[in-house]
Amino acid sequence: MLPASSVVFLTTLIGAGQGLLLALYLAEFGARYGWWLAAPADGMFFAIGAAVAVALTAAGLVASVFHLGRPERGWRAAARWRTSWLSREVIVLPAFMAATTLYGTAHCAGWQAPQSAFGPTLAIGAIAALLSVALYLCTAMIYAGLKFLQEWASPLTIANYFLLGSASGCTLATAYAAIAAPALLPFFVTWAIALTAFALISRSASLVRNARLKPKSTLQSAIGIKHPRIVQKSMGMMGGAFNTREFFHGRTRTRMRAVKWTFLILVFPVPVALLLAGMALHSAQWLVAAFVAQYAGLLAERWFFFAQANHPQNLYYQTVS
Provide the Cα torsion 157, 158, 159, 163; round to 10°: 100
CA–CA distance, 154 with 140 (Å, rounded to integer):
10
Least confident of 78-82, 113-117, 147-151: 113-117
pLDDT(114) > 70: no
What's the pLDDT score for residue 312? 79
Mean pLDDT of all residues in 115-133: 88
Alpha carbon separation from 140 to 174, 176, 191, 192 (Å, rounded): 25, 27, 22, 21
CA–CA distance, 233 with 221 (Å, rounded to integer):
17
Count how many Cα atoms sit within 13 Å of the Cα of residue 102 in the half-sphere of its side chain: 16
Whether the Cβ atoms of residue 135 and residue 158 lie closer than 8 Å to each other: no
Report the CATH number that the domain containing residue 212 is assigned in CATH: 1.20.1630.10
Model confidence over 58-70: pLDDT tens digits?
999 988 887 776 7
What's the pLDDT score for residue 321? 40
What's the pLDDT score for residue 250? 76
pLDDT(190) > 60: yes
What's the pLDDT score for residue 140? 97
What's the pLDDT score for residue 300? 97
Number of compact structural domains in the chain:
1
Least confident of 149-153, 188-192, 228-232: 228-232
Of 27 and 233, the structure prediction assigns the larger pLDDT to: 27
pLDDT(19) > 80: yes
pLDDT(245) > 90: no
CA–CA distance, 256 with 249 (Å, rounded to integer):
10
What's the pLDDT score for residue 287? 96
Helix (H) or strand (E) holding 109: none
Q: Tell me how crowded residue 16 is: count the other CB atoms within 10 A of its CB.
A: 30
pLDDT(292) > 90: yes
Whether the Cβ atoms of residue 188 and residue 23 lie closer than 8 Å to each other: yes
Model confidence over 93-108: pLDDT tens digits?
999 999 999 999 999 9
pLDDT(225) > 70: yes
Mean pLDDT of all residues in 235-251: 72
Whole-model pTM: value is 0.91
pLDDT(205) > 90: yes
Written as one letter, the residue type at 152 is W
Of 163 and 39, the structure prediction assigns the larger pLDDT to: 163
Percentage of the chain exceeding pLDDT 70:
89
Confidence of residue 115 (pLDDT cuts 50, 70, 90): low
Confidence of residue 77 (pLDDT cuts 50, 70, 90): confident
Alpha carbon separation from 74 to 14, 17, 70, 172 (Å, rounded): 18, 22, 7, 30
What's the pLDDT score for residue 34? 67
What's the pLDDT score for residue 189? 95
Percentage of the chain exceeding pLDDT 90:
62
Whether the Cβ atoms of residue 49 and residue 107 lie closer than 8 Å to each other: no
Mean pLDDT of all residues in 122-143: 96
Whether the Cβ atoms of residue 95 and residue 131 lie closer than 8 Å to each other: yes
Of 110 and 263, the structure prediction assigns the larger pLDDT to: 263
pLDDT(217) > 60: yes
Q: What is the residue range of 107's domain?
A: 5-317
Determine the length of the chain.
321
Count how many Cα atoms sit within 13 Å of the Cα of residue 178 in the half-sphere of its side chain: 24
